[in-house]
Structure 1
Amino acid sequence: MTSTTAMSGVIPPVCTPLTPEFEVDTASLTRLLDHLLDGGVDGLFILGSSSEVAFLPDAHRKVVLDTVLGHVAGQVPVLAGVIDMTAPRVLDHVRVAVEAGADGIVATAPFYTRTHPTEIAIHFRTIAAQAGIPLYAYDLPVSVHNKLGADLLLELAAEGVLAGLKDSSGDEAGFREVILGRRDRDLPSFSVLTGSELTVDSALWMGADGVVPGLGNVDPHGYVRLFRAALKGDWAAARTEQERLLRLFGLVHVGGPHMGRGSSALGAFKAALHLRGIIDHPTTALPQIPLDADEIARVGEYLADAALV
């Protein structure tokens, strides 16, 4: 089921604050939501990569859904990740998300199992048929090990299966092919969103509808300024804001070589939110390696340089 208008704007993938005991910190989560809404965001994406969805037990996912949807209460659309290995497992998450009141759902291609593009299409058709709310494809080949091709995405969009795409593939040419194909096939309601924090101005200039930036947790106001400048056609202002955000994004590398890239990035986002007084603890889910005190201090330096503390 597709929406009648393409979702657009700044749609941060909301981090999941955790207590030191690895439970969902609902008080911090609601403060984070208020921080994002105050920043002027156009929507929220929960239970995605920046939410540590792969680490969250189903009960934790349910707490996030209920907390976010209860607190936001329709102020902006909320997309819920229903990410899991195969369609039968995804459908369990779909039922919970729909019952909680999500405005749309987000799913990757199947993973762990080896699938053919025809099977990937069946996967998305099966999910959409049960959901009854807009379904967005999440192109994340670094984690899923399948690249969603433009022809497949546009075919499913034309069928009414997909309402949009969150592209975190890093394939700029493929992304542009989707944008061009949407225009050629006259699919204006198919929303094309970039997941890259660092090339938002370029993506919007190409015709993307918006951005789903992990760094947007830390500085939603900056991404909103960038988007609004692009919307007005002030590409110089958009580029200036993008370059400022690129410098701020350096905080994701403070973890260094002794931890995974995800541990470093998510740890840095949470450390920044903690230093800004938005969440109580910078805890990341196991088995991710936490940032140490020196690394957190380096995150603080990036925030100071960006005038965020």
Structure 2
Amino acid sequence: MARERLRGTGVALVTPFTTDLKVDYEALPKLLDFVLDGGVNYLVINGTTAESVTTSTEEKAEILQFVKKHVGKRVPLVYGLGGNHTHQVLETIKQTDLEGVDAILSVSPYYNKPSQQGIYQHYVQVADASPVPVILYNVPGRTGSNVTADTTLKLASHQNIIGTKEASGNLEQCMQIAKNKPADFLLISGDDMLTLPMISFGADGIISVLANAFPEKFNQMVQLALDHNFTEAAQLLYDFVDLNPLMYEESNPVGVKAALEHFGVCSAAVRLPLLEASAGLKERIQKAL
């Protein structure tokens, strides 16, 4: 089952762009091989870090097909598919080729600020319509509303909802989910630096930004934590403490793309309204590296 294959380190893949801001299909396979060689457990396509809000419907479909063809069955694939217009999300599910996709990651409706009952009903309709399992995605800093522990646990009883990516930063809320969730319901960290504490009380891993640039080291850290070796895992985590804030200083994925450019994987180009990392930020990232 999909949920058994989605433990450990998932990578929220960036979308490489050329200097004229087209999808870079020469850099994309380099990125895929770079993270897969690092031993990560699965890939997340078309998430926040992929700049999904500025890629077209056609580009999304092309990227998904390209990744499926290049990766084959080497690791599971999760596809970002959500929105704040429930009917439109259901239509997108119908129109998307999800063959070979293990699950969709569906962000809580943003901007509308729905009630908890509205969030619940939205996800029930998405889960009923999806031909593949659904992972909830709670990121209040981007959506403007929180999916409470009670709502998450209520949704956990749906047979097609297999987990949640928790990026609320609220560890007490995450503990409530960990304490009361079904045993096979995945609790996934959505914050790189909170991965170890979340695993310590029952999380199953991380969907990571940093693992784009540091797949081997980040995966090693997560596996040590899942093996309850938190002393060694923490030593690896400490190496990211100074670097991590730089990843978000000018918004995600600006920082991690600058790191990937430093490693020769892809360019640092991003699409407006984001801007490529400033010279000062790039210099500080290079020093931190």
Shorter-chain TM range is over 0.9
**SS state of the match for residue 159, structure 1?**
coil
- Structure 1 stretch displaced more, 115-124 or 205-214: 115-124
**What is the TM-score with the length of structure 2 in the denominator?**
0.94
Moved over 4 A (4+): none
Equivalence for 2:221: 226
Query: What amino acid maps onto 1:138 in structure 2?
Result: Y
Q: Between 153-162 and 293-302, report the one with greater CA deviation.
A: 293-302
CA 1:78/1:192 → structure 2, altered by over 3 Å: closer, same or farther?
A: same
The answer to which of 85-94 and 136-145 deviates more is 85-94
How far off is 1:84 after superposition?
A: 1.9
**Cα deviation, residue 79, structure 1:** 0.5
Matched, 1:290 2:285: no
Residue in 1 that maps onto 2:31: 32
Instruction: Tell me what 1:299 maps to.
Output: 285
- TM-score if structure 1 supplies the norm length? 0.88
Residue deviations 1:57-85, cap 9 Å, x none? 21221122111111111111111001222
Q: Distance in 1 between matches of 2:165 and 2:125?
A: 19
Q: CA deviation at 1:37?
A: 0.5
Does the alignment pair 1:252 with 2:247? yes
Letter in 1 for 2:68: L
- Return the letter of the residue paired with 1:62: A
Give the gaps of 5 or more residues in structure 1. Answer: 256-260, 304-309
The reply on whether 1:271 has 2:258 as its aligned counterpart is yes
Deviation, structure 1 residue 100: 4.8
Aligned partners of 2:204 and 2:226 also within 8 Å: no
How much does 1:5 deviate?
3.2
Match of 1:307? none
- 2:90 is aligned with 1:91: yes
Q: Report the Cα distance in structure 1 between the residues aligned to 2:287 and 2:62, rounded to whole angstroms.
A: 33
Query: 1:138 deviation in Å?
Result: 0.3
Structure 1 residues 233-256: Cα deviation after superposition (integer angstroms, max 9, x where no partner): 221101111111223314326x5x
Q: Which has the higher helix share?
A: 1
The alignment yields a C-alpha RMSD, in angstroms, of 1.8
Deviation at 1:23, TM superposition (A): 1.4
Superposed counterparts of 1:176-187, under 5 Å: 176-182=175-181, 187=182
Q: Distance in 2 between matches of 1:114 and 1:294?
A: 36
CA contact (8 A) 1:150 1:177 kept: yes
Q: Does 1:107 align with 2:106?
A: yes
Q: Once structures 1 and 2 are overlaid, which stretch shifts more, 95-104 or 16-25?
A: 95-104
For residues 230 and 40 of structure 1, the distance between their equivalents in structure 2, rounded to whole angstroms, comes to 16
Partner of 2:236: 241
